[in-house]
Amino acid sequence: MQLILPLLNDDSPTEKIAPPVTPPLPTSAADKIPSIIDDADYQLIRSKRKTLAVSVLDGKVTVRAPFRMPNYLITIFIQEKSNWINKQVTRQRVQLTQTLEIVDGAEFSVLGEPCFINIEHSIQRPHRKRANILLRKNQLHIQLTADASSHSERSHAQARKLFCHWLKAHASAYMVTATHQLARAMGLFDKLGVINYRYTRTKWGHCTSEGNIQYNPSISLAPLFVIDYIIAHEVCHLRHRNHSKSFWQLVEKVCPDWQQAEKWLNTEAHRIAIGPG
């Protein structure tokens, strides 16, 4: 079972129409149809699919169409969906400016505690060949190597990599303990497999049929009640391997404020995406 919630609050529903009944006109896979979307280029991808669809991800529009669907039908479809597309593009582009940047002075919250990033460049210490990261009180000190410090892009990439590794380790202690405690309290500990972590674009948590649970470390940047909801959600999947009524009743029992947590994820989750990368 898996909990699929957009990191950048990307609704990206698929809009479709039926294939045309009129004889199709010859077209190539590299067709470019006229832009009727406000300030948004889009990519047309043709394949063996039978329907026409449009999606928006990271403010970019993708149109998927059958190989031989005529361009005029694609244009009509895009025009019909243009209001929805423009709304999605505008919203997502704003959200992309609100992701967490791993830069000096950036403020974030981890496991409910406020924290600030302090990036220490090593230009004055040319012999430093090893990067390091250390949390002292509410200051996260990221010490870059000398070669990275002298190159802005390399500096940013190294700081981001160090932060992601640190966050995974820092989140683990709380999330493993909380998962074990809840599974025991619910009499499901014998069904629990291994717990691991992986950064993904669309999932905060995932529970396999074998009882293995995977968390996205970025969720540890959310408020504590949201973190606890994700844990409760995945542990409840140890009993119900679906999103049935019984599943949600169990979630309600162990996490009464789950709806508030889902609302936060739907409106604020883009703020805990680590970007760009």
The model's pLDDT over 138-165, given as tens digits with 9 standing for 90+, comes to 999 999 887 776 667 888 899 999 999 9
| Residue 94 confidence (pLDDT) | 87
The model's pLDDT over 52-81, given as tens digits with 9 standing for 90+, comes to 999 988 888 999 999 999 999 999 999 999
DSSP single-letter state for residue 273: -
DSSP single-letter state for residue 57: E
Average pLDDT, the chain: 84
Token pair 């919630």 is at which residue?
5
Neighbours of 79 (CB within 10 A): 13
Show the domains of the chain with their CATH numbers.
10-96 (no CATH), 107-272 (3.30.2010.10)
The model's pLDDT over 169-211, given as tens digits with 9 standing for 90+, comes to 999 989 999 999 999 999 999 999 999 999 988 799 999 999 9
The model's pLDDT over 239-253, given as tens digits with 9 standing for 90+, comes to 999 999 999 999 999
pLDDT over threshold 50, residue 34:
no
128, HSE (Cβ side, Cα atoms, 13 Å): 16
pLDDT over threshold 90, residue 2:
no
DSSP 59-96: TEEEEEEETT--HHHHHHHHHHTHHHHHHHHHHHHHHH
Is 53 buried (19+), middle (13-18) or exposed (0-12) by CB count in 10 A? middle
pLDDT band at 18 (very low <50, low <70, confident <90, very high): very low
| Residue 223 confidence (pLDDT) | 96
Distance, CA of 14 to CA of 16 (rounded, Å): 6
Angle (CA) 217-218-223 rounded to 5° is 110
Residue type, 62: T
pTM of the predicted protein model: 0.74
